[in-house]
Amino acid sequence: MKITVVGTGYVGLVTGTCFAETGNTVTCVDIDAKKVEKLSAGQITIYEPGLEKLFLRNQKENRLLFTTNLEDAFHEAQVVFLALPTPPGEDGSADLKYILGVATQLGKLIQPGNYKVIIDKSTVPVGTADKVRDTILKAASVDISDDFDVVSNPEFLREGVAVDDFMKPDRVVIGTSSERAIKILNELYAPFVRQGNPILFMDERSAELTKYAANSFLAVKISFMNEIARLCELLGADVDMVRRGIGSDDRIGKRFLFPGIGYGGSCFPKDVQALVQSSIEAGYSFRILESVMEVNKEQKVILMPKILQHFNHELKGKKFALWGLSFKPNTDDIREAPAFDIIQELLYHGASVSAFDPEAMNNSRQVLGNAIEFAETPYHALKDADALVIATEWNEFRTPDFEKIQELLKNKVIFDGRNLFDLTQMENLGFHYESIGRRKLSSTK
């Protein structure tokens, strides 16, 4: 099948590459000419495990093409995916300017007798498929009402395991009532659901809401556990024990119960906010999600009171090593990453920061410039630092050389926002060690 993907970011590039991998010819369109130039030259623009190999193979076999020209890419395609940004607008609702802007362009390009399926893969509020359809019709100069369908097909991939998620999805959600579109999408997704995972067909509105409901539910689970962690600290319980205790209950499940310094990334924060705003517009106040946003905002800087107390509220002249900048491991995505909230707080209090991340250094440099130091290795970051702060649970931070850490740090002090280390081990090593929802170790040998 010939496919066009409009928007070649985290979702668009993975979508395009994975559809090419199953034999389709995919043209990815982006307005960012530099990005298109790089991709066309065989240079991948995001870090996503397993993606580069597929990207290079399909590009070599001419099944994966890149362009800035929507018109050229559009004419031959039967299916057009929109993988465009839907950032929060001023009131927190999803800003549809990118989607509707492209819909206007599509309205001018769709021709009678040349049927296309236009698919919203972006996360969009309920009613967007209708808006896209109306926008296309309005922009057309002739009657094309029978020449296209707009389908909602939200994407559930997780950055860091996006290729696996796309190739073997738990489910594919498709919102449409068009028989023509259903037939095409069944064919397109067949290779991805061979193991029996379902393609769930539903109406557009339910599909659109499913995506927000999924992300919001996971955000609730994270924030619930973060509040349990706060309570553990106050009551002298251990959140690891509580987590195991509740996670072994099938009704609750083990996943998304790890406490930490809050959720970040380009999806949960904006999607929870957008659902809250959609609810308000629908005349309903979604109180659970309003609380989740509040809890998460505090959680992102939950290490700060611990840091301030330890240093008697005097951080001026102190240096902090920071491990992890990406919002989660296995991605270079730094959007809404808690590390940045911590950095901002540390700088505000007069401290300096030396940071290391395995993949997110370039993206971080673009945002932070010279405001902090970027270290070559995790250990370079530690040199003469007063404490180590851990913000992202990259695997390579899990079993570090503690002797080296002790040698390099000025003080044996670690603030761990991801509960990476064992309490007994840290106690034996004599670290001052503070984590989330667990006993504080203040003894230093």
Ligand X SMILES: NC(=O)c1ccc[n+]([C@@H]2O[C@H](COP(=O)([O-])OP(=O)(O)OC[C@H]3O[C@@H](n4cnc5c(N)ncnc54)[C@H](O)[C@@H]3O)[C@@H](O)[C@H]2O)c1
Active site members:
267
Q: What's the closest the beta carbon of residue 88 comes to ligand X, in angstroms?
A: 10
Tell whether residue 86 is a contact of ligand X (CB under 6 A).
yes
Out of 29, 181, 219, 275, the only residue in the binding site for ligand X (CB under 6 A) is 29
Tell whether residue 9 is a contact of ligand X (CB under 6 A).
yes
Q: What's the closest the beta carbon of residue 94 comes to ligand X, in angstroms?
A: 7
Out of 42, 72, 75, 101, the only residue in the binding site for ligand X (CB under 6 A) is 101
Tell whether residue 210 is a contact of ligand X (CB under 6 A).
no
**Residue whose Cβ sits closest to ligand X:** 9
Closer Cβ to ligand X, 17 or 122, answer by number: 122
Our CA angle for 107, 113, 114, nearest 5°, is 65
Q: Where are the extended beta strands (E) located within 244-364? A: 319-323, 352-356
| Residue 370 burial (10 A CB sphere; 0-12, 13-18, 19+) | exposed
- Cα 410 to Cα 127, 244, 290, 326, 387: the distances in Å are 56, 35, 41, 26, 7
Out of 5, 11, 174, 322, the only residue in the binding site for ligand X (CB under 6 A) is 11
Residue 336 one-letter amino acid: E
Tell whether residue 363 is a contact of ligand X (CB under 6 A).
no
| DSSP helix/strand/coil, 220 | helix
What does residue 298 show for φ and ψ, rounded to 5 degrees?
A: -70, -40
Closer Cβ to ligand X, 48 or 416, answer by number: 48
Tell whether residue 8 is a contact of ligand X (CB under 6 A).
yes
Q: What's the closest the beta carbon of residue 101 comes to ligand X, in angstroms?
A: 5
Out of 50, 85, 127, 247, the only residue in the binding site for ligand X (CB under 6 A) is 85
Tell whether residue 84 is a contact of ligand X (CB under 6 A).
yes
Q: Which of residues 143-182 bind ligand X (CB under 6 A)?
A: 155, 157, 159
| Residue 111 burial (10 A CB sphere; 0-12, 13-18, 19+) | middle
Secondary element (H or E) of residue 236: none
**372/364 Cα distance (integer angstroms):** 10
Among residues 41, 39, 62, 34, the alpha carbon closest in space to that of 51 is found at: 39
Out of 1, 31, 167, 246, the only residue in the binding site for ligand X (CB under 6 A) is 31
Secondary element (H or E) of residue 149: strand 148-152
Tell whether residue 26 is a contact of ligand X (CB under 6 A).
no
User: Could you give the dihedral angle defined by the CA atoms of residues 184, 190, 196 and 202, in that order, rounded to the nearest 10 degrees?
Assistant: -20
Per-residue x/- marks for ligand X, 253-292, CB under 6 A? -------------xx-------------------------
Q: What residues line the site for ligand X (CB under 6 A)?
A: 6-12, 29-32, 35, 83-86, 98, 101-102, 122-123, 155, 157, 159, 266-267
